[in-house]
């Protein structure tokens, strides 16, 4: 995982004048070079980071892209090897190997780059604002389209309007991008032939400014074989209409039959039916699966902001006037306590 300290360490690569080099890069639109802060786990680069690479390719046809991975041990180097062949446009993989990067804390996480990009997840939202503060620039968040190297489109008003933003700062342009707007390309069969070189980042100055303001406590994850909510092809979501955590298990059983991820509305999370990492919406996960099934979901504006880009939306709600039906491709007015058991009965078991 990468951090602000890893970015600081990159300053050594562009001495003596970091600021003047950054100004030179950003004042000339022909000189585009991008650093992607990549997230990895279990020796593999995460799909949303590959989406960030695709977004970086949109900046310019002639855009050298460097991937920065930070962490420690063999898993980091395995992830670096995978990252080197994740996309032909990656020109270099930078590795910051230190025990200080074992956990994804932002305080311990700069390089002559015109742009710095990361996915708009909890990782990117943790790192990029701190890096922007160190560089004294304004980051542009939740980018869904790149029109040119300094012109970006991002949603506002919970996705009900789109705002076009031009970056005019003197420093590097820092972006978070929605991975759902930059789908991950299929990995080429001969991708190994396009491997980028892997370079170790100089960490000799590490620790000079990295007084810890946070500490790692623990990492928790669901003990389940279900797909990850952010990248699943099918998502089954339940709302407050399920009335209890016990009833919400029907959603989980249906998801198992469909090999789908489980999602929930903010109301269901607030009611304690499921943990908040399953929340879909403006303040939760942004998803765009091939199939999104919503049971007992009214369609509050903040929820729609997190799933309106789904390819096919199926909604079941007993209220025919529920806003969810306005965005649904298929809608059924009915009692979810009758519909879900019938689906469970008729759907075959997954192999």
Contact predicate 303/280, CB 8 Å = yes
Contacts of range 279-283, beta carbons closer than 8 Å, 24 or more positions apart: 280/229, 280/235, 280/237, 280/306, 280/307, 281/305, 281/306, 281/307, 282/158, 282/159, 282/306
Angle at 47 between CA 142 and CA 270, to 5 degrees: 60
Q: Which two tokens stand for residue 3?
A: 């951090």
Return mean pLDDT, the chain: 83
The 10s digit of each residue's pLDDT in 288-314 is 999 999 999 999 999 999 999 899 999
Q: Looking at domain 2-209, which CATH architecture does it have?
A: 3-Layer(aba) Sandwich (3.40)
pLDDT of residue 243: 95
CA separation for the pair 117, 172 (Å, rounded): 10
Q: H-type helices in the chain, by residue range?
A: 4-9, 18-27, 47-57, 73-84, 122-135, 245-258, 266-270, 301-304, 336-346
Lowest mean pLDDT among 144-153, 189-198, 341-350: 189-198
The 10s digit of each residue's pLDDT in 75-89 is 899 999 989 988 888
The pTM of the full predicted model, rounded to 2 decimals, is 0.73
What is the total residue count of the chain? 351
CA separation for the pair 89, 97 (Å, rounded): 24
Give the pLDDT band of residue 25 (cuts 50, 70, 90): very low
Domain ranges of the chain: 2-209, 234-346
Asked if pLDDT for residue 195 goes beyond 90, the answer is no
Q: What are phi and psi of 233, to 5 degrees?
A: -75, -30
Handedness of CA 178, 179, 183, 189 (dihedral sign): positive
Helix crossing, 245-258 with 336-346: angle to 10°?
30
The arithmetic mean of pLDDT across residues 250-277, rounded, is 95
Asked if pLDDT for residue 28 goes beyond 60, the answer is no
Same fold, 2-209 and 234-346: yes
Contact predicate 150/137, CB 8 Å = no
**Superfamily holding 234-346:** TPP-binding domain (3.40.50.1220)
Contact predicate 65/89, CB 8 Å = yes
């Amino acid at each position: 995982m990468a951090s602000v300290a890893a970015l600081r360490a990159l300053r050594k690569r562009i001495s003596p004048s970091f600021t003047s080099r950054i100004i030179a890069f950003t004042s000339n639109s022909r000189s585009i070079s991008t650093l992607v802060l990549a997230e990895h786990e279990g020796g593999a680069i995460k799909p949303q980071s590959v989406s960030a690479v695709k977004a970086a390719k949109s900046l310019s046809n002639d855009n050298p892209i460097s991937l920065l991975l930070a962490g420690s041990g063999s898993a980091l180097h395995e992830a670096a090897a995978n990252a080197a062949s994740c996309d032909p446009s990656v020109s270099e993989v930078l590795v910051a190997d230190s025990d200080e990067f074992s956990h994804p804390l932002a305080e311990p996480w700069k390089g002559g780059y015109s742009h710095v990009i990361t996915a708009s997840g909890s990782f990117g939202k943790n790192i990029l604002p701190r890096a922007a503060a160190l560089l004294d620039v304004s980051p542009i968040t939740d980018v869904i389209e790149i029109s040119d190297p300094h012109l970006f489109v991002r949603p506002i008003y919970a996705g009900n309007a789109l705002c076009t933003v031009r970056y005019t700062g003197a420093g590097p342009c820092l972006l978070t991008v929605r991975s759902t707007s930059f789908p991950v390309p299929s990995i080429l069969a001969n991708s190994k032939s396009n491997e980028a070189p892997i370079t170790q980042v100089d960490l000799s100055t590490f620790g000079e400014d990295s007084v810890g303001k946070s500490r790692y406590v623990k990492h928790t994850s669901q003990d389940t074989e279900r797909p990850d909510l952010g990248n699943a092809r099918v998502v089954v979501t339940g709302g407050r209409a399920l009335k209890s955590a016990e009833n919400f298990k029907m959603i989980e059983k249906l998801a198992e039959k469909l090999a789908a991820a489980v999602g929930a509305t903010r109301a269901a999370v607030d009611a304690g039916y499921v943990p908040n990492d399953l929340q879909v919406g403006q303040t939760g996960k942004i998803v765009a699966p091939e199939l999104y099934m919503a049971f007992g979901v009214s369609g509050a504006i903040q929820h729609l902001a997190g799933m309106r880009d789904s390819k096919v939306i199926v909604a079941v709600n007993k209220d025919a006037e529920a806003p969810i039906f306005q965005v649904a491709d298929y809608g059924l007015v009915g009692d979810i306590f009758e519909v879900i058991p019938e689906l469970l009965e008729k759907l075959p078991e997954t192999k």
